[in-house]
Amino acid sequence: MTDATTEATHSGGSAGAVPAEDPTAFGWLNTADHKRIGRLFIACSLLFALAGAIADLLVRFDLASSSDHTVLNADSFVQVFTFTRDALVFGMLIPLFLGIAIYVVPLQVGAPNIAFGRAAALSFWGWLVSAGVLVGAYIANGGPGGGFSDGVDLHLLALAGLVISLLTGAICVAVTTLTMRAPGMYMDRTPPFAWSALVTASMLVVSLGVVLGQIVILYIEHRYGPRFLGGNYGIWSRIDWMYRTPQLFIYVVPVLGVVAEIMLAAARRWVFEPLALYFTMGLVGLFGFGAWANFGITGEGDDIVDGLEGIVLVGLYAGALAGVSGLLALLGFTLWQSRNRPRPRSGAVSLTRPNTAVVAAFGAGTLIAVAALVGLIGAGVDWLQIAGRGVDGNAPLRFTTWVTGQQSLLIYGAGLLGGLAALHWWAPKIWGRRLSELAGFASLLAIGGGALLAWLGPTLSGVFTEQPQFVYGAPLLTTRYASQVDDSGAEGLSALGAVGVVIVLVGVALVVLNLLVSVAMRKGAATEADPWDGLTPEWLLPSPPPLGPAAALPELTSGTPLLDAELNGNGLDGTGAAAERDAEEVPA
């Protein structure tokens, strides 16, 4: 990865008073600078996206044939199935947005560095090592359903390491937002992405904490027995709530922050009611608390939850849907309000000149709303036992591949599209270069289209084909699912999903290629401080900001200082340049 900031530090010749940040390659190992840590998270999480999508492809290929296992075998199917979720959630989705938050949030709130810089570095290295151990455990025939007992234990330890590492990083982000804002920037003026990062970090703390307690019990139970929780096959049913809705909504709250950032910049206008912006994002996070839906625990006392689990799920999806739709309505109204604003300067982001970031953000926000709506319908069907769902021989939707569809929509669709939008939007700030728009649009189409197919296939299969409670209801029988795909249409629908994943994979590869060419090979156009006419404080800073903590801080009074300056008519530099520019560019 290119270290453009190193050049800035060197050529600037003004870093004397700044605590030294080793500019050599060794500096990447011992860094405590949020900019390097953020980049490391982003780069490595994209590699996990590739690994997870490839594993998902193997699983879906296996489900696309009515004959016995075609790609995998009975032993490896469960492990590849669970590895897919591990890689896509703990390897890609959470760390990708954590990395972006670690980079961007301190700049947005005017902090000199991330809070507890060493802890943030520990978060990254702990996550990377744990992820490596996790992969090793799977290779050694460990993981849920694994045949090598020590490998299963190792998987649980690695999972605990992943959770603790990501929790550490999340706490650093949350503390930065809460306590390190520039003087004058109050919480109700925080930039949308910083707020969304705070919401996600807070919800990760309370939800991943729960799974940590579960992992301790599962580890003791599996290692020392007696295996009253099912041993290696009992693991998945007790932790799979982390990989499915509604918990997935927590992970994609930062996507909503990205959507809000980009849409408001396109509107060049702040929302009429900022508290509504913060409230709706908080609502999505709050109702994404998936531990409530952890029926692996609560289901053990059936009389406790009978009749309640359906209501809980319906309520969670309804709350999430209310939050997402409220936010999108608020942003849409703001865009409508700004319809008569003067044409922005060349290069600035706007709806009339959409770029990859704008379209990807629009798509990501829409897909989250679709996921919440479909989730609400599915939970309602399960709760009301419509079409015999939940009675003998007709599994509730939440135990079928309908769940895989939800995962595809939120991980591939919202997650990857949101990540694509964020990378294109903040690439100038992170690497000092724009990403290729051509490659960006190609990856946008591939990821968006692929995600829709990857969603439709398993969703329709879950609704219309006969699926015993295999995959999600009884992990012990998961392998049989692959060998019992019947001819009721499940084959074709699984193949449709597999095609979608292939297309997503191409899209992710394009993103990685785009980064390599535009950033590492420096083919992307070098940019000024604010190439998009952004609103938030990070666009006041050089692109990219120099390494190391700042010796001095901007004095901010809101999360949109550039917009404030423009609306006050005095421009950023006190000369009224922005207002004059707008006036000149108004069409005759």
Partner 1 sequence: MADTTGLVEASQPGRYSVPGPPPRPRSQLVGTGFAIAAGAMAVAGALGHYMARRHASGIDPGHDWLAGQSVPNPQLVYALITLLVSVVTAHWAVWASGRGERGHTWVGMALTLVMGLAFFNMVMFSLNRMEFEIGSGEWATLAFAVTGLSLAILIVGMFYLGLMTLRSLGGSVGRDRSTPLGAAVFFWDFAVLAWAATWYVVYVVK
List residues near partner 1 by CB under 8 A: 8, 12, 14-18, 112, 115-116, 167, 170-172, 174-175, 178-180, 182-183, 201-202, 205-214, 216-217, 219-221, 224-226, 228, 291, 297-298, 300-301, 304, 540-542, 545-546, 548, 550-555, 570, 572-574
**Element of type H or E holding 51:** helix 34-63
Shortest Å, Cβ 182 to partner 1: 8
* Residue carrying the six token digits 């666009």: 539
Closest to partner 1 by CB, 200 vs 401, is: 200
Closest to partner 1 by CB, 512 vs 553, is: 553
Is residue 516 within 8 A of residue 47, CB to CB? The reply is no
Closest to partner 1 by CB, 205 vs 506, is: 205
Residue 452: exposure state from Cβ atoms within 10 A (0-12, 13-18, ≥19): buried
Written as six digits, the tokens of 532 are 């998009």
Q: Give the up-direction half-sphere exposure of residue 449: CA atoms within 13 A in the CB hemisphere.
A: 11
Shortest Å, Cβ 381 to partner 1: 27
> What is the four-CA torsion angle of 332, 338, 339, 340, rounded to 10 degrees?
170
Could you give the CA distance from residue 409 to residue 468 in angstroms, rounded to a whole number?
Answer: 23
Shortest Å, Cβ 411 to partner 1: 24
Shortest Å, Cβ 119 to partner 1: 8
Closest to partner 1 by CB, 378 vs 559, is: 559
Closest to partner 1 by CB, 450 vs 534, is: 534
Shortest Å, Cβ 39 to partner 1: 18
Closest to partner 1 by CB, 520 vs 572, is: 572
Closest to partner 1 by CB, 68 vs 555, is: 555
DSSP letters, 298-358, are HTTSHHHHTTHHHHHHHHHHHHHHHHHHHHHHHHHHHHHHTTTSPPPPTT---SSS--HHH
Could you give the CA distance from residue 64 to residue 66 in angstroms, rounded to a whole number?
Answer: 7
Could you give the CA distance from residue 284 to residue 318 in angstroms, rounded to a whole number?
Answer: 10
Shortest Å, Cβ 146 to partner 1: 20
Closest to partner 1 by CB, 303 vs 487, is: 303
Closest to partner 1 by CB, 107 vs 379, is: 107
Written as six digits, the tokens of 415 are 């997650």
Tell me the C-alpha to C-alpha distance, in Å, between residue 167 and each of 174, 208, 410. 10, 7, 21
Shortest Å, Cβ 306 to partner 1: 13
Shortest Å, Cβ 421 to partner 1: 26
End-to-end CA distance of the chain: 46
Amino acid (one-letter) located at 146 = G
Shortest Å, Cβ 567 to partner 1: 15
Angle, CA 372 vertex, CA 83 and CA 242 arms, to 5°: 30
